[in-house]
Structure 1
């Protein structure tokens, strides 16, 4: 179990929140998190890239010149992969990059990744009422008060999406906003600092807790 300090809108300590997640064993933690990360990145690929073989390139039906007597190398088609405008040898074709991983393993990897970033975790009170209207400047000021450097990559996790927070955060270049239900390994590992609201932490604990 890990106790995290909860900060208010001004950055003052106002309490603590506990985080108790069942994580992978130390000797296998890196492996399972890596598998989950590779799976997520592979499943995000569209797999629509395609090239044409010599059979699919238009033209090339007539033999360019006779077989013998010209002094040139024999050629049967001007759409050969050796020719400019010809087909592609062993080029990419549309394919499915999806990788499978058991649900228990996925959840274990997610818990392990989240618990592993506890040193970079900042827990704050729900601040939706502090932004009655979208105001990027106020959110940046709050992040600074929470000890988050302006140039660092920040992952902001909310219990539920708030329109004013979303509109305030979208102009901050290196800030990514997600809800607790959309927690994923890639975002957890890519961020320098993770800011999570107390309700979102409770929701994560409730869904993924032991």
Structure 2
């Protein structure tokens, strides 16, 4: 169990919250988190790259010149891979890059990745009522009060989609907003600081618990 200080909108400490998740042991943690990260990155590939072989390139039906007597090399088609405008040898074709991983392992990797970032984790009270209208400047000021630098890559996690928070956050280039139910290993590891609302922390422990 890990204890985290809860901050309010002004940056004042108002209480404590606990993060209690079952994680991988020290020996296996790097391996399982790496597998989950690789799976996420590889599975995001579309796999739609495609190049035409000599049989798929249009044209080339006529033999360019006769077989013998010209002094030139033999050629049977102008769509040979050796020719400009010809086909591609061993070019890419559409394929599925999917890497599979057991659900229990994926969830264990996710919990391990989250708890490994506890030193960079900031828990705040739900602040949607502090944004009666979308205001990027107000959210940037709040991030500063929470001790986050202007150049830090920030991952903001909320329990549910809140329109004013979303509209205020979307213009901040180094901030990414996700829901507690959409956690993923890449975002947890890529961020410099992680800001999570208290309701989102409760939801994470509810959704990703080991029960």
For residue 101 of structure 2, what is the aligned residue in structure 1?
A: 101
For residue 123 of structure 1, what is the aligned residue in structure 2?
A: 123
Q: Distance in 1 between matches of 2:12 and 2:209?
A: 27
1:156-171 aligned at under 5 Å gives the runs 156-171=156-171
SS in 2 for 1:58: coil
Q: Deviations over 1:48-79 (max 9, x none)?
A: 11110000000011111111111111111100
Q: Which runs of 5+ in 1 are unaligned?
A: none
For residue 146 of structure 1, what is the aligned residue in structure 2?
A: 146
Q: Is 1:26 the equivalent of 2:15?
A: no
SS in 2 for 1:15: strand
SS in 2 for 1:26: coil
Q: Is 1:60 the equivalent of 2:69?
A: no
Q: Distance in 2 between matches of 1:135 and 1:25?
A: 43
For residue 74 of structure 1, what is the aligned residue in structure 2?
A: 74
TM superposition shift of 1:150: 1.1
SS in 1 for 2:137: helix
Q: Which runs of 5+ in 2 are unaligned?
A: none
1:151-190 aligned at under 5 Å gives the runs 151-190=151-190
Q: Distance in 2 between matches of 1:82 and 1:153?
A: 48
TM superposition shift of 1:149: 0.7
1:182-201 aligned at under 5 Å gives the runs 182-201=182-201
Q: Distance in 1 between matches of 2:80 and 2:116?
A: 54
For residue 133 of structure 1, what is the aligned residue in structure 2?
A: 133
Q: Distance in 2 between matches of 1:200 and 1:174?
A: 21
Q: CA RMSD in A?
A: 0.7
SS in 1 for 2:4: strand
